């Protein structure tokens, strides 16, 4: 079994930043990147609101740079998915890829969040055949075609705007008569001629054949049911935190977000810290995730130092 002083789980902005700080503090961090190295940002196009990049930077570019910085400073960044965790006593027992066992003195959980789906059988049936939760990954396939985006938040507006630049027409399926998105994003979609917002509408079924999605059956609040013809169906209805592996030991809120103490990254389990979207139901930005990764590494350093004193 391998012994690790500072184990960081998750390769997004929170994890990489924790690795940068932990490396500089000589904590010999080991980071497992998980299923999606680089995290959710690798599925976005340009990031214009991450400070320090006057002309913006691509999501993948930002993540590659953060990772390279962590590696240069000495972090051991590895491919691998944590498949089970036992946080009942120290050192904590972690299993990677089903067979590699690790004993960790401290852990930073930075496993992020995953896109939500509506839960319709037809959505499952056409997943990867026209149903997607990432416009920037898959939008390219719908050049000059008609598509639909579900949701009314910032993500939905961003994805609709992005798709409007590629596709012929973009329908936004919005379940209320208002958008949840920021005013700037609302204005943007409302002023884009090839975006049509379908207010008070819910998706009843995704229609298709062996070639994939061909349309959506929609139920409006007034009871009217109608179909729209689309080739792509994009979900943008929020995310759920990837905390399942740890929630037996670590306190989570009603939505599954890990609860941290006050302004720290400390969880209720001494020696286990959380950073990034897995503990942030509110801000969920790359820059706030990075900042929380910094806090987590500093908290780990303090914790490991406190162990030495006894
Ligand atoms: P949000 O939770 O903000 O919005 C989710 C949207 O999906 C809401 O409009 C919601 O409707 C709708 N929705 C939820 N469940 C369903 C359902 N079952 N059927 C139909 N519609 C549904 O998630 P986002 O991912 O948009 O944003 C998350 C956070 O990230 C926010 O804080 C946002 O501001 C931020 N963000 C910031 C960006 C930026 O600054 N550039 C870009 C993207 C996100 P309802 O409103 O009725 O609840």
Any catalytic annotation for residue 138?
yes
Of ligand 1's listed atoms, the one at least distance from the Cα of 151 is 7
- C-alpha 35 chain-centroid distance: 11
Listed in order, strand segments (DSSP E) in 1-75 are 2-9, 29-32, 46-47, 57-58
Which residue has its alpha carbon closest to ligand 1 atom 3?
A: 153
Mean model confidence pLDDT for the chain: 94
**pLDDT score recorded for residue 101:** 97
The pLDDT tens digits for 194-246 are 999 999 999 999 999 999 999 999 999 999 999 999 999 999 998 899 999 99
Read off the pLDDT band of 310 (50, 70, 90).
low
**pLDDT score recorded for residue 44:** 66
Question: Hey, is 18 helix, strand or coil?
Answer: helix
Which residue has its alpha carbon closest to ligand 1 atom 34?
A: 154
The pLDDT tens digits for 26-80 are 999 999 999 888 887 776 667 778 999 999 998 899 999 999 999 999 999 999 9
Q: Give one word for 217, left, alpha or beta, with left for phi > 0 and alpha for psi -120 to 50.
A: beta
User: Beta partners for 217?
Assistant: 205, 227
Tell me whether strands 57-58 and 212-220 are parallel, antiparallel or unpaired: unpaired
Locate tokens 């990489």: which residue?
Answer: 16
The CA distances from residue 131 to 118, 138, 172, 264, 288, in Å, are 11, 9, 14, 39, 30
Question: Hey, is 12 helix, strand or coil?
Answer: coil
Task: Note the residue count of the chain.
Answer: 310
Which residue has its alpha carbon closest to ligand 1 atom 36?
A: 154
Average pLDDT over residues 275-302: 94
Average pLDDT over residues 239-261: 96
Between the CA of 168 and the centroid of ligand 1 the distance, in Å, is 24
How many angstroms separate the CA atoms of 76 and 221, rounded? 53
CA-nearest of 14, 102, 7 to 289 is 14
Between the CA of 287 and the centroid of ligand 1 the distance, in Å, is 18
Any catalytic annotation for residue 97?
no
First and final C-alpha spacing in the chain: 25
Instruction: Give, for ligand 1, the residue of 237, 239, 241, 277 to mutate: max count of ligand atoms closer than 8 Å to Cβ.
Output: 237
How many angstroms separate the CA atoms of 226 and 201, rounded? 10
Between the CA of 238 and the centroid of ligand 1 the distance, in Å, is 5
**pLDDT score recorded for residue 42:** 75
Of ligand 1's listed atoms, the one at least distance from the Cα of 119 is 18
Given a cut of 90, whether residue 282 has pLDDT beyond it is no
Q: What global pTM score does this model have?
A: 0.79
- Look at 113 and 49; give whichever has higher pLDDT: 113
Question: For 288-297, b where at least 16 C-beta lie within 10 A, e where not — what string?
Answer: bbbbbbbbbb
Between the CA of 179 and the centroid of ligand 1 the distance, in Å, is 9
**pLDDT score recorded for residue 248:** 97
Structure token digits, residue 115: 């896109």
- Among the listed residues 6, 138, 167, 299, the single catalytic one is 138
**pLDDT score recorded for residue 59:** 87
The pLDDT tens digits for 11-21 are 999 999 999 99
- Look at 117 and 44; give whichever has higher pLDDT: 117
Between the CA of 237 and the centroid of ligand 1 the distance, in Å, is 5
Given a cut of 80, whether residue 272 has pLDDT beyond it is yes
Which residues line ligand 1 at a C-beta cut-off of 6 Å? 49, 118, 150-156, 158, 175-176, 180, 236-239, 284
Read off the pLDDT band of 252 (50, 70, 90).
very high
């Amino acid at each position: 079994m391998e012994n690790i002083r500072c184990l960081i789980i998750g390769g997004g902005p929170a994890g990489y930043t924790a690795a940068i700080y932990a490396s500089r503090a000589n904590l010999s961090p080991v980071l497992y990147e998980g299923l999606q190295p680089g995290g959710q940002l690798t599925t976005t196009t340009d990031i214009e609101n991450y400070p320090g990049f006057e002309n913006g930077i691509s999501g993948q570019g930002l993540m590659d740079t953060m990772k390279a910085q962590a590696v240069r400073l000495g972090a051991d960044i590895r491919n691998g998915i944590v498949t089970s965790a036992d946080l009942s006593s120290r050192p904590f027992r972690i299993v990677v890829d089903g067979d590699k066992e690790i004993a960790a003195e401290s852990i930073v959980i930075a496993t992020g969040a995953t896109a939500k789906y509506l839960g319709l059988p037809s959505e499952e049936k056409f997943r990867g055949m026209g149903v997607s939760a990432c416009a920037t990954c898959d939008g390219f396939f719908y050049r000059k075609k008609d598509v639909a985006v579900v949701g009314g938040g910032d993500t939905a507006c961003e994805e609709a705007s992005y798709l409007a630049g590629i596709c012929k027409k973009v329908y936004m399926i919005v379940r209320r008569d208002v958008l949840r998105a920021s005013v700037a994003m609302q204005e943007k979609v409302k002023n884009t001629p090839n975006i049509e917002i379908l207010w008070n509408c819910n998706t009843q079924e995704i229609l298709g054949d062996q070639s994939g999605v061909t349309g959506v059956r929609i139920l409006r609040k007034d009871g009217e049911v109608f179909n729209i013809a689309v080739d792509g169906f994009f979900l943008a209805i929020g995310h759920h935190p990837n905390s399942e592996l740890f929630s037996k030991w670590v306190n989570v809120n009603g939505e599954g977000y890990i609860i941290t103490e006050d302004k720290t990254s400390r969880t209720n389990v001494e020696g286990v810290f959380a950073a990034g979207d897995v503990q942030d139901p509110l801000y969920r930005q790359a820059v706030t995730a990075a900042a929380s990764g910094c806090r987590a590494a500093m908290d780990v350093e303090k914790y490991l130092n406190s162990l030495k004193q006894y």
